[in-house]
Amino acid sequence: MVSALGLPESYYPLRQLTRYCGEHPDALFVLDNMEHLLLEARQVMEELFEKVPDLRCLITSRIPLHIPQEQLFPLEPLALECSLESPALQMFAEYARRIRPDFRTTFFKRSLDLLTIRKK
């Protein structure tokens, strides 16, 4: 988080983060896939919330952090239909086009055709 915020390297990154959060009370931190850092994330977030009680975070994780400030909003996965109209495929294509405007779903069409043939 410290490097993502452009803060200088330090021996005390949590102290820097706490100071930054205190100086930016309107900030919203979005942390994705926290299940990969579950133990470390839990410790850091507990300490941050203790020192900055008004801290606002949106954290995605397949596993809850189990901290007192946590509010869970379970989401169902997007349906993956064998169709180019699949919500999951549409969302993927939309994000891919943001990075590569020339992105096409041709690869997916070929893959879906193969899946359809295999199902028969």
Q: How much is the pLDDT for 38?
A: 86
Domain that holds residue 100: 87-119
User: 9 with 45, same domain?
Assistant: yes
DSSP per position, 28-96: EEEE--GGGGHHHHHHHHHHHHHH-TT-EEEE--SS----TT------PPPP--SSTT-HHHHHHHHHH
Percent over 90 (pLDDT), the chain? 15
Q: 7: which DSSP letter? A: P
Q: How much is the pLDDT for 100?
A: 82
Q: How much is the pLDDT for 50?
A: 92
1-5, 23-27, 87-91: which has the minimum mean pLDDT?
87-91
In a domain, 65, yes or no: yes
Output the pTM of the full model: 0.63
User: 60 with 109, same domain?
Assistant: no
In a domain, 79, yes or no: no
